[in-house]
Structure 1
Amino acid sequence: MKIPFLKPALVMGSALILASCGSGSPKIVSTPIANIDSIPLKITDLSETQLKGWGGADLMTDTIPGMSVEKAYSEIIKNNKGQKTIVAVIDSGVDIEHEDLDGVIWTNTDEIPGNGKDDDNNGYIDDMHGWNFLGDAVEENLEYTRIYKRLKPKYEGKTASSISTADRAEFIYYQEAKEEYGKEYEETVQNRNQYEQIKKQLVAAHQAVSSQLGKEDYTKEELNKMEASGQMAQYKGMLQQIQNNVNENIPEALEELDEGIEYYANRLETHFNLDLDGRAPVGDDPYDITDTDYGNANVMGPSEDKEDLKHGTHVAGIIAAERNNNIGINGVANNAEIMVLRAVPDGDEYDKDIALAIRYAVDNGAKVINTSFGKYFSPNPEWVTEAIKYAEKNDVLIVNAGGNEGLNLDENTVYPNDQNPEAPQEISDNFLTVGALNYDYGAQLVADFSNYGKTNVDVFAPGTKIWSTTPNNEYEYLQGTSMASPAVAGVAAIIRSFYPKLSAAQVKQVIMDSGLTTNADVIVGGDRNNTQDFKELSTSGKMVNLYNALILASQTK
């Protein structure tokens, strides 16, 4: 979620905007951004300020493929607020005490905090800011690990010929999960071992060179001037390669190697651990959709350091971090509240939790739901499908991350989705799947990790190196379609705020129709040998643009 030149395809027309002040919808008479073929490629690196805000940049003025958020605010939205819009974030939880989020967290005013009662009779006790469907659970297996572990006693050692017709489909599913588990487990072990070996070699080289130079904090110039032969020459070459290719000093490189080793070791201890029962703290049956009396109101979960909230906190900030408060960042939406639904552990989410979280969001007033998660095995997809349809019935838009494996989703199924396995049409018209853009307006426009698909990805939005809120009043760069999806959820929230009469389906179509496109070929999946027409990578063939979306929304009846 890299080379041939991209022919720019969009030139912005001038616009005349007449915006009223106050809380109503802005009155717009304008020409939307269109036809960008004459815009030059940006040949200089982004400054730190540009990088931190590139998702809101304007392609015409900045030559950066952002969503024209700041242009929309300065020329269209201005001081208008619109209606308050609730955006549900189904994720790892959110640091609701964060300095840049504490003013935009949804509060259930029908609930009395801390009295141990379900005051509003919605089925959830003391749910002031949402619900924690994971209780005290944090670490969890991947879905194929759970499937393999759960079905192993039934099918281990058996062949297809010994399986009854009634169990044939389940047996095949078990075999697929077992194969995926074995492949991914071995790959993770190899990656950990490789990182450990590289670190061992790098430590030896660094110690030898430091000893010869008489200092550990030697510069690139000092390393280049150092005379070396034999083993020392090999050490020097290795360190030069690190400094030149990675553009880091050696202590930083060692720190990153340690992080990589820890990452893969943790995956082996949790994601692939057949002895881990990550669900035990919850106390429910995750395979019984009628078992709903579980979880708690602590949407920040059990971890005191809040580290497990990083993903959800980052997502929430992209959507609605407080704007123009002289701290932190500006979220996309200026009048949104974040409903926190903790349902995604460190591992794969359960279908039951996602289905119930969607229903909670719908029943408690959310108009937009962000789902920045996904997996490639789903034992109970029908539960989530029915929840998506329930959201459609109640006019709620779901904005979904497309995934980070560089895959064509027309050929690979990722969950959740709005695909109909028995027909070409989608199961609903309220589900918008988002791929990720890079900040390079050129051949690398599509993030190298981003999934894509003419049928099963709808739009693209900024998702590479996004600066946003993280726990304990911190800020950090993260990347993925997980960051692209909330950017679009923020756009959807603004449209629903200013144009509340538009249905979820209309808002989805406005976002898709109003985006910017290009006629150029771009690199797909990080493979320089795989270049494709950008317009063929999603249903709309477009990049989301808030400025254009507001114009089109104002014209939609």
Structure 2
Amino acid sequence: MIVEFKPTATIKSANGQEISQSVHSRIGSSVKKDFTRTGLAGVQLVQLSPETSVEEAVNFYRSDPNVLSVSPNYIDHLDCTPNDPQFNTLWALHNTGQTGGTADADIDAPEAWDLAQGSTGIVVAVIDSGVDCTHQDLAANIWTNSGEIPGNGIDDDRNGYIDDVHGYDFVNDDNNPYDDNGHGTHCAGTIAAVGNNANGITGVNWNTKIMPLKAGSADGMLTIADELEAISYATMMGADVISCSFGGTNYVSSVETAIAASPAVVVCAAGNDGTNNDVTPHYPANYNCANIIAVAATDHNDNLASFSNYGATTVDVAAPGDGIYSTVPGYTTVFSDSMTTLANWNVQSPWGLTTAVYYSAPSSVTDSPGGYYSNNANCALTRKNPIDLSSCSDACLRFIIGGEAESEYDGLLIECSHDGATWTTVDSISGSTGGYFYSWETDLSDYCGDSSVYLRFRFVSDSANTYDGYYIDDVEVFYHAPNGNSYGYKSGTSMATPHVSGLAALVKAADPSLSTSQIKQTILSTVDAKSSLTGKVATGGRINAYRAVNSVATVVDAAVVSDTIPTTMTAGQSASVSVTMQNTGTTTWSEGDRIRLGAVGDAALFGPARVTIPAGVTVAPGASHIFTYTMTAPATAGTYTPQYRMVWELHQWFGETLTKTVQVTAAVDAAVVSDTIPATMTAGESASV
């Protein structure tokens, strides 16, 4: 249970500890963890006695006048849906229609990077399943606790955690927040995969620091206690942004208190149930905290993703979250089976293959291929050969599952054995998947080091009510390998959330003086309004990184002197133009420092996005440089507003924006050169012309 005592009864008061101990002793509970050290005085994780039910404990603590709130130590889930392998590019950052979606249905990241690429002074805490800190696209951006001396076994900074050099693992209570699920690493890559390093991908930020806080286990479960401690740690260690791609339906007062007490921007996933959060809350997104940004997910057409929760008052904004490509931990596959045959399995009837329902063609395996399963079923699908896990320290079973069984009474048991005779249940599934296939992961770490691990799926049912049963596809066992440098696709509001977390860090980098409320307001007030989001999220829009960063960018070290950009052009017409920029700063410009004229918005439709200072040319403070290039009008007539700005790409300053209005008229396919048509003629007269 999570028990929160009233301020007058906390252990900070003179008799607070005596009061709390007295309350616990009356019901036989013991304190497992006290959150006072992380700034939450009076909040405790308690272990109930074996004789006490959860319901009895809730009623007992609620009736005590010293207790402010009490809740079970609920388990939340990472807000991720199955991979969708058809997406193959970073459309969310720059959408050209490359995935079959709508061009510019993105967050305008390249335009934002003209203004800021992030800052190593900004820290984003990722509360998730951990982070692969050795990944080639993340290693340089992993946060380091400067107050801790690595590996000396001492709590050097006296924050209550030993050797927490690169974050902490609250699941296993150690200093190695390694990601044994993959979800956290994926989120971290979207926030701040290293940019411009000739490897893999880039995040919304190129340089921002990631603080890995592992609160999620290998199977994607997070207890409230671990979430609470991770939030408190992030606050204590000074995170500027806290990214929360997880959630559940249970309200817990102490978690709301912890978030409200944090000075960080806290970005939370709205959830993946396709439901209205105004009606059915999803926490932590639904907590009433001024620093929370609740995020829905959009697809590559700027539509609300089919799985995404929404809420006209409780969900703030949307961001890309469907088919997102990012970093994932490297792993080694021990075995995999696409379930096209059952040659690798001992099959107990009625288990069998079916081609009627599957995740990947042509078939899946099901506990009842003939229809609904029977009452009192007890049948197993057992892998013939044992699995060798002797060379790994963590391992995971992953498979795709869909279907339905009577909730809590019938279901699937995942069992392991050291000898093939004595079996232990390591996971279970019951209820409905809602007509969808999901990726399910089961932690097998307890069997690591064993060279012969037996595995089976066992379906069981009671004597009442039957359903269609489960369909299993694409089974694999794998273990994670550091330095794997892998990438993959994931979908969910979990993937939308880090886009907003990354943007919060990018806005903070552009103007470090901004307060938490100002950062939130900047993001919400600069969205791209979308009709598909009207009435679905409070802002009615999807985030726009360029507009957000541009709205707070105030440093000007370059000024427009003159330009020859025409105000009218014919569709398809080309013109040689020039823009003269003066160096009004204190640093000399040169080609080697990547000084360039940056094209923003409509400017990209007229020609090159980058016009660089030539090699060997320098522009001293006070001097000017003339940029010349060819400008070609778009093929479609209309009114355009191209913008140009001086940009020093690897530094945090930029120049005055030149904005022009160019009227493009339809092209004319013929022109009069000369004629011999007479000016006067007599009625009925003929003339050769």
TM-score (norm 2): 0.44
Match of 1:123 in 2: 160
Q: What residue number does 1:539 align with?
A: 538
Q: Which position in structure 1 is the counterpart of 2:105? A: 65
Matched residue type, 1:76 = L
2:185 matches 1:313: yes
Q: What are the Cα deviations for residues 286-337 of structure 1, in whole angstroms up to 9, with x where unaligned?
A: xxxxxxxxx111111xxxxx6x230000000000000011111011012211
Correspondences of 1:145-294 after superposition (within 5 Å): none
* Alignment: residue pair count: 313
- The yes-or-no answer on 1:500 pairing with 2:368 is no
Q: Following superposition of structure 1 onto structure 2, how do residues 152-551 of structure 1 map, counting pairs within 5 Å?
A: 295-300=173-178, 308-345=180-217, 346-378=219-251, 381-391=252-262, 395-419=263-287, 427-441=288-302, 445-472=303-330, 473-518=485-530, 520=531, 522=532, 534-551=533-550
CA distance in 1, matches of 2:87, 2:216: 31
1:100 counterpart residue number = 137
Matching residue's letter, 2:226: D
Whole-angstrom CA distance in 2 between matches of 1:504 and 1:318: 21
Give the 3-state SS of the residue equivalent to 1:344 in structure 2: coil
Greater mean deviation of Cα atoms: 318-327 or 342-351? 342-351
Q: Superposed, which structure 2 residues align to 1:9-88 within 5 Å?
A: 51-57=88-94, 63-73=103-113, 75-77=114-116, 82=119, 84-88=121-125
Paired residues of 1:344 and 1:373 also in contact (CA < 8 A): no
Whole-angstrom distance in 2 between the partners of 1:465 and 1:49: 8
Distance across 2 between alignment mates of 1:90 and 1:321? 17
**Shift of residue 63 of structure 1?**
1.6
Q: Is the 8 A contact 1:467 1:476 kept in 2?
A: yes
The one-letter amino acid paired with 1:333 is N
Indicate the SS of the match to 2:527. Answer: coil
Alignment correspondent of 2:126: 89
Asked whether the 8 Å contact 1:351–1:383 carries over to 2, the reply is: no
Letter in 2 for 1:411: V
What SS does the corresponding residue of 1:510 show, helix, strand or coil?
helix
- Provide the rounded CA distance (Å) in 1 between the counterparts of 2:308 and 2:125: 23
Cα deviation, 1:165-205, whole Å, max 9, x if unaligned, reads: xxxxxxxxxxxxxxxxxxxxxxxxxxxxxxxxxxxxxxxxx
The structural deviation recorded for 1:70 is 1.2
What amino acid maps onto 1:506 in structure 2?
A: Q
Q: CA deviation at 1:492?
A: 0.4
Secondary structure, counterpart of 2:115 in structure 1? helix
SS at match of 1:349: strand
Residue 303 of structure 1 corresponds to: none
Amino acid in the other structure paired with 1:339: M
Which blocks of at least 5 consecutive residues in structure 1 are unaligned? 1-47, 136-294, 301-305, 420-426, 523-533
2:195 touches 2:207 (CA, 8 Å); kept in 1?
A: no
One-letter amino acid of the counterpart of residue 541, structure 2: K
Shift of 1:505: 1.0
Given that residues 495 and 553 in structure 1 are in contact (C-alpha distance below 8 angstroms), is that contact kept between their aligned partners in structure 2? yes
Equivalent-residue separation in structure 2 for 1:59 and 1:455 (angstroms): 32
Q: Which has the higher contact order (CA 8 A, sep 6+)?
A: 1
Mapped to 2, the partners of 1:541 and 1:60 lie a distance apart of 23
Tell me the equivalent position of 2:413: none
How far, CA to CA, are the matches of 1:107 and 1:95 in structure 2?
Answer: 14
CA shift for structure 1 position 76 = 2.6
Question: Does the CA contact (< 8 Å) of 1:334 and 1:494 recur in 2?
Answer: no
2:92 is paired with a residue of what secondary structure? helix
* 1:43 matched residue in structure 2: none
| Contact 2:181–2:220 under 8 Å retained in 1 | no
Distance 1:390 1:439 in 2: 36
Cα deviation, residue 339, structure 1: 0.4
Letter in 2 for 1:412: T
Q: Describe the shift of the 1:322–1:83 C-alpha distance in structure 2 as closer, same or farther (beyond 3 A).
A: closer
Task: Show the counterpart of 1:225.
Answer: none
Superimposed CA distance per residue, residues 97-124 of structure 1 (whole angstroms, 9 cap, x where no aligned partner): 1111111100111101111110001111
Q: Cα distance 1:59–1:509, how it changes in 2: closer, same or farther (>3 A)?
A: farther
2:169 equivalent among 122, 129, 132: 132
Report the aligned-residue RMSD. 2.2
Deviation at 1:415, TM superposition (A): 1.5
Residues 418 and 555 (structure 1), Cα distance of their counterparts in 2 relative to 1, 3 Å cut: farther
Q: Structure 2 vs 1, CA of residues 477 and 81 (structure 1 numbering), >3 Å: closer, same or farther?
A: closer
Q: 1:404·1:480 contact (CA, 8 Å) conserved in 2?
A: yes
Tell me the residue number matched to 1:219: none
What secondary structure, in the 3-state scheme, does the structure 2 residue paired with 1:509 have?
helix
Which amino acid letter does the alignment assign opposite residue 203 of structure 2? Answer: G
CA distance in 1, matches of 2:141, 2:196: 13
Give unmatched runs, 5+ long, in structure 2.
Answer: 1-84, 331-484, 556-689
Q: Alpha-carbon deviation of 1:412?
A: 0.3
> What whole-Å deviation, never above 9, does each CA across 1:348-404 have from its counterpart, x for those lacking one?
3211211111110111121000000011235xx11211111111xxx2100111100
Question: Moved runs in structure 1, 4+ residues, more than 6 A?
Answer: 59-62
Any idea what the Cα deviations from partners look like across 1:29-76, whole Å, max 9, x if unmatched? xxxxxxxxxxxxxxxxxxx99841111116899723110001222x43
CA contact (8 A) 2:87 2:489 kept: no
Tell me the distance in 2 between the aligned counterparts of 1:348 and 1:407: 21
| Partner AA of 1:399 in structure 2 | V
State how far apart, in whole Å, the 2-side matches of 1:309 and 1:70 are.
Answer: 30
Deviations 1:195-245 (A, max 9, x none): xxxxxxxxxxxxxxxxxxxxxxxxxxxxxxxxxxxxxxxxxxxxxxxxxxx
CA distance in 1 between counterparts of 2:275 and 2:314 reads: 11
- Is 1:64–1:439's contact at 8 Å kept on the other side of the alignment? no
Q: Which amino acid aligns with 2:317?
A: V
Q: What's the TM-score once normalised by structure 1's chain length?
A: 0.54
How far apart, in 2, do the equivalents of 1:324 and 1:82 lie? 14
Answer yes or no: is the 8 Å Cα contact 1:320–1:336 preserved in 2.
yes
- 1:501-540 CA-to-partner distances (Å, cap 9, x unmatched) read 111111111101100002x3x4xxxxxxxxxxx2211111
Answer whether contact 2:247 2:269 (CA < 8 A) is retained: yes
* Mapped partners of 1:513, 1:404: distance in 2: 25
Identity, % of aligned positions: 41
Identify if the C-alpha distance between structure 1 residues 81 and 464 changes in structure 2 by more than 3 Å, giving closer, same or farther.
Answer: closer
